Amino acid sequence: MEIRKMIAEDIPQIAQLEKDCFADPWSAASFTSELSNPLSTWLVAVDGDVVAGYIGAQTVLDSADIMNVAVLPVYRRTGIGEKLINCLCTHLSQRGARSVLLEVRVSNTPAIRLYEKLGFTVVGRRPNYYFHPKEDALIYRKEGL
């Protein structure tokens, strides 16, 4: 499994993975636009030609926001999510971030366990942040990148 920067050729597989994972998926066009956003960092985990997972964040000054992370169902629980976050944090630190924030559905136990394992802690809650279904978000932060 190799972790590398996302390229345009990865986008069709990522757009499909988004549709499979999220009720409000990002479009292929959104990812295309993100690849030319100087504030953004997008990484993929690849197994040969298969994009097994991806993650992305935006950095403003010394603070970063993780926008999305997902792993193909058949590759889950093999450590890819953990590798993607750790690798992303290294990239974010190199571009000056000292802390990273993210939102997660309160019911998303796999993601919450992953973030807590990697040292993220809850710093807030946004009521009704998500739709389809409507649900609160927990805000997690990790300091000292």
Report the catalytic residues: 103, 115
3, containing H or E segment: strand 2-5
User: Between residues 28 and 101, which has the closer beta carbon with respect to ligand COA?
Assistant: 101
Give me the 20-59 binding string for ligand COA, x by CB under 6 A, dash otherwise: -x--------------------------------------
Amino acid in the structure at residue 32: T
Other C-beta atoms lying within 10 Å of the C-beta of residue 76: 14
Interatomic CA distance for residues 72 and 27, integer angstroms: 17
For residue 143, the cross-strand partners are 99
User: Between residues 95 and 117, which has the closer beta carbon with respect to ligand COA?
Assistant: 117
User: Between residues 36 and 119, which has the closer beta carbon with respect to ligand COA?
Assistant: 119
Give me the 106-135 binding string for ligand COA, x by CB under 6 A, dash otherwise: --xxxx-xx--x------------------
Q: Which residue has the tokens 């549709």?
A: 19
Q: Is 101 in the site for ligand COA (CB under 6 A)?
A: no
Name which of residues 56 to 85 contact ligand COA (CB under 6 A). Answer: 69-71, 76-82
Question: What is the sign of the dihedral through the CA atoms of 74, 51, 30 and 123?
Answer: positive
Q: How many residues bind ligand COA (CB under 6 A)?
A: 19
Q: Which residues contact 36 (CB under 8 A, 6 or more apart)?
A: none
90, containing H or E segment: helix 80-94
Q: Residues interacting with ligand COA, by CB under 6 A? A: 21, 69-71, 76-82, 104, 108-111, 113-114, 117
